[in-house]
A and B are shown apart, each in its own frame.
Chain A
Amino acid sequence: MIDFLTLLQVLDSSLRLATPLLLVCLAGLFSERAGIFDIGLEGKLLAAAFVSAAFASITGSVWLGLLAGILASIMLSLLHGLASITLRGDQIISGVAINFLAAGLTVVIAQDLFGQGGRTPPLKSGGRFEPINFPGTTSSKEISDAGPLMQLYSELFSGHSLLVYIALLTVPISWFLLYKTRYGLRLRAVGENPAAVDTAGISVIGLRYSAVVIGGVLCGIAGAYIATSLQANFTKDMSAGRGFIALAALIFAKWRPWYALGACLLFGFFFAVDTRFQNILLPAWALSGFLIFIALGLMSYVWKKDLLDKVVLGGLALGISAIAIMVISSVWNSGISNQIKIPVVFIQSLPYILTVVVLAGFVGKAIPPRAGGQPYVKER
């Protein structure tokens, strides 16, 4: 079995991997709560990663890199705002365009500036955000001998870069801003019914731009984090789909800040498991039991539904049960406590599976902001 220290190490790496997701997810939250869908999160993250790595590399200062990354991300946000708020264009198309723009431009400019095949040079110390060690922590050499509390303190709480703590702080700040201030009330209102905001004498355009810019700042911090803290340089497509996973987390979190923290930590945990273990071994009885449990859950869910639901989901349940039976029968001779290998790709796909489950309405309803995706036009 996994010992306590290994578990802590996995959690520690979950936190680090969840950080960019969380920042991007909150960026999307502000934007979508104001009624602007933001498919371009991925592009902004990538652009910010490149610009911050490039600036940090050239100037040698990570702070200038962070600032430049944030500015780059804000520029792209304003572009998205111009297309979707001022010019009332299609928000999805504008977002997709930003993704393509960032994917292409970052590599081209990196090649032109540094000539290292679309990368930036590795950052030296001073050009990176270094881990912050809390007072009284044990060094990594002695940690296996320390007590569990000390291990928890040194491994999980301490030793992250400043940006991780900032990301964690943005959760309560976002919550406070959204639910406890005048600005938050108006922001949520403009994503639900902009006409109500307009007739109350508040500028719809101003509010939406402000939300998009906040999203830009958060994406910028996330980009700087992956290029100057998680890694030590920029590489091609280093955002690796995090922008899209953050969107999935946003839906999973039902557009709420604290839920977003939970969703991102969960998704970060999947990534950590994925990088730490090549394959996961489970006893056959546990695996089959789990599968049959899911199949039974599906069956009871569709019991009172329409015929179509019964056919589709019932079929799925039958398929899952069939896999469970196959698992049992394959290990029948050698005993059902035999270990079964679960491929790691399955863990990688879990965030998406979970999002589909939430979207399908199994776990409560995920209702997006009602005016989301629609440009605001005054009606006659």
Chain B
Amino acid sequence: MTENPAIELRKISKSFGPVQANKDITIRVMPGTIHGIIGENGAGKSTLMSILYGFYKADAGEIFVDGKKISIPDSQAAIAAGIGMVFQHFKLVENFSVLENIVLGAESGALLSPSLSKARTELAALASEYELNVDPDAIIEDIGVGMQQRVEILKALYRQAKILILDEPTGVLTPAEADQLFRILKRLREEGKTIILITHKLREIMDSTDTVSVMRQGEMTATLKTNDTSPEDLAELMVGRKVLLRVDKTPAKPTKPVLEIKNLSMVDDFGVQRLKNISLTVKAGEILGIAGVAGNGQSELLEVLGGYSAATGVVKLNGSEIDLSTSVSGDGQARRALGIAHVPEDRQREGLIMDFMAWENAVFGYHRDKSNQANRFFMDNNAIRKETEEKMKRFDVRPPNPKLTAKNFSGGNQQKIVLAREIERNPNLLLVGQPTRGVDIGAIEFIHQQIVALRDQGKAILLISVELDEILSLSDRMVVMFDGKIMGERQPANTNEKELGLLMAGVSEKAAQ
């Protein structure tokens, strides 16, 4: 018996000007399966799916749905063909109710109230069928991202979608929300829906898909049964060379304490206490990792140490106390003068100025250093440009052109520019937030190596990441934060995800035993 594929793409090609985003892509997605598409940023996954959803028109190639050839000139046609899409950035009207968002574009008549009441009934049926409960009258901006994603899925199901495409669905979710999403997806598969999951996270592919296709530089390099492959094989197919998924490092040789934090507390502008009596020590030659679900005070800790939020308590660097007031003697520039380098969590907002050139970005924070001045009045821009170019080469920034604006680099290369700026200044202490968020696998490997190399030079490193894997593989010691408190300290080698998960959820050590 041969079953028609739910979706078959044959020889799809698409280019944007000189850039060939998709080249002769052929893929068959069987009904009732979860089919993963994996590839690095810019490999052409999203372009391919946008073609399938009628956002772009392919230059060449054919699309078959259930064995029938169709053309998809716009989203309306895709919806009619039973294709639903959940975009990475949700397409919801923020101040509309859940119900209004679901009905939008799929109203049953010119008047609104019959459509809304019909949708209300159907939503209740869908909710019980797929265990997708949402309050139909809630306003989108009042509900969490996980809920918003459910609304997007419901939107597709309400339009009778048989095929659901999810583009990087876990990028904005907490681990718990992501688990819940995958339970929902498996449930949808049981009900006979076909799911296409686009991601760059190997673990999601291994955990939840039946089949996986790998894309690299606009081409489809392989389609495999998930059971027959391994994360290492997939990574190699994605990047085109062998990739080390685990960080290769020797045991740490910590020496004297560099950063000592005692009873650090911080109250934000809204009067909420974000940090509650934090005490920590980071020694020279070690990486201290801070794990936790996003929003439990890690960001605020970095802001305080980086000099742009005021706090109370005692923070010592190499034994001398530093100013926590964010005044001139305690701002970001003063911190850098003390040798505290900072790779902020959000590189696009805090790490770089996106419309400025690479060389300008590469000197920020250090632009008043003597070494960057030509004379009393002017900066030595030529020297800075030249130095930036060398740094870019050392840090494998592609292309190594210091005159390109920051926004023209990929996420990984942007991060390398920030790292190059901070590491090359030979700091005493490096603060790193989410070093590999939205960064390709190949670049992750490089960034991790750089951080470990800095440690081996005897520097102190404070690492904050919401990726538990990253903390576990990179840090020498780790603590877990919850609700602005340190829940406990662990050795990465002697702990497990279950124990850490409990700490991250705020279950204290005593209760956990």
Q: Interface residues, chain A, CB within 8 Å of chain B?
A: 179-186, 188-189, 192-193, 195-202, 370, 378, 380
Contact = CB atoms under 8 A, between A and B. Distances in A.
Contacts of A195: 91
B115 A189 contact: no
Majority SS of interface residues in chain A? helix
A366 to B, nearest CB: 14
A209 B75 CA distance: 20
Interface stretch (B94-102, B171-179, B226-234, B344-352): B94-102
Contact of A199 (B91, B107, B112): B91
B110 A181 contact: yes
B105 A197 contact: yes
A202 B105 contact: yes
A197 B104 CA distance: 7
Given A185-B104, A189-B104, 9 more contacts: A184-B112, A192-B94, A193-B94, A197-B105, A198-B75, A199-B87, A200-B104, A200-B105, A380-B50
Contacts of A180: 111-113
B93 A193 contact: yes
Contact of A370 (B85, B94, B115): B94
A184 B104 CA distance: 10
Nearest to A379: B89
Contacts of A202: 76, 104-105
Interface in B67-97: 74-76, 78-79, 85, 87, 91-96
Contacts of B75: 198-201
B375 to A, nearest CB: 38
Q: Which of A185, A197, A380 has the most CB of B within 10 A?
A: A185
19 contacts: A180-B111, A181-B111, A182-B109, A182-B111, A182-B115, A188-B93, A188-B96, A197-B104, A198-B91, A199-B75, A199-B87, A200-B79, A200-B91, A200-B104, A200-B105, A201-B74, A201-B76, A370-B94, A380-B46
Given A196-B91, A196-B101, A199-B87, A189 B96 contact: yes
B33 to A, nearest CB: 24
Contacts of A193: 91-94
B85 A185 contact: no
Interface of B: 46-47, 50, 53, 55, 74-76, 78-79, 85, 87, 91-96, 100-101, 103-107, 109-113, 115, 155
A50 B198 CA distance: 59
Contacts of B101: 196
B79 A201 contact: yes
A196 B109 contact: no
A185 B111 CA distance: 10
A254 to B, nearest CB: 12
Nearest to A199: B91
Contacts of B46: 380
Q: Return the 10 tightest CB-CB contacts between A and B, nearest first.
A: A200-B105, A201-B76, A182-B107, A196-B91, A201-B75, A199-B91, A192-B93, A189-B93, A195-B91, A193-B93
Contact of A380 (B47, B94, B105): B47
A254 B75 CA distance: 33
Nearest to B106: A200
B104 A186 contact: yes
B93 A199 contact: no
Nearest to B54: A201
B89 to A, nearest CB: 8
A109 B74 CA distance: 45
Nearest to A195: B91
A185 B103 contact: yes
Contacts of A185: 100, 103-104, 107, 112
Contacts of A370: 94-95
Contacts of B105: 186, 197, 200-202
A183 B110 contact: yes
Contacts of B53: 199
B228 to A, nearest CB: 33
A199 to B, nearest CB: 4
B59 to A, nearest CB: 16
A46 B104 CA distance: 37
A227 B88 CA distance: 53
A305 to B, nearest CB: 12
Nearest to A182: B107
Contacts of A196: 91-93, 101, 104
Nearest to B155: A200
A181 B78 CA distance: 25
A192 B100 contact: no
B104 A181 contact: no
B107 to A, nearest CB: 4
A199 B76 CA distance: 8
Nearest to A191: B93
Contact of A182 (B47, B85, B87, B112): B112
Given A199-B91, A200-B75, A378 B96 contact: no
A199 B54 CA distance: 9
B409 to A, nearest CB: 16
A200 B104 CA distance: 7
Contacts of B94: 192-193, 370
Contacts of B104: 185-186, 189, 196-197, 200, 202
A324 B460 CA distance: 64
A306 B87 CA distance: 40
A234 B106 CA distance: 47
A192 B96 contact: yes
A192 B105 CA distance: 15
A192 B95 contact: yes
A199 B85 contact: yes
A182 B93 contact: no
A6 to B, nearest CB: 44
Nearest to B78: A201
A232 B1 CA distance: 84
Contacts of B87: 199
A63 to B, nearest CB: 29
B221 to A, nearest CB: 22
A228 B230 CA distance: 80
B264 to A, nearest CB: 25
A256 B75 CA distance: 31
Interface centre among A186, A199, A202, A370 (most CB of B within 10 A): A199
A185 B75 CA distance: 19
Chain A CB within 10 Å, residue with most, of B76, B93, B103? B93
Nearest to B46: A380
A181 B85 CA distance: 26
Nearest to B113: A180
A183 B110 CA distance: 7
A370 B96 CA distance: 12
B442 to A, nearest CB: 21
Contacts of B112: 179-182, 184-185
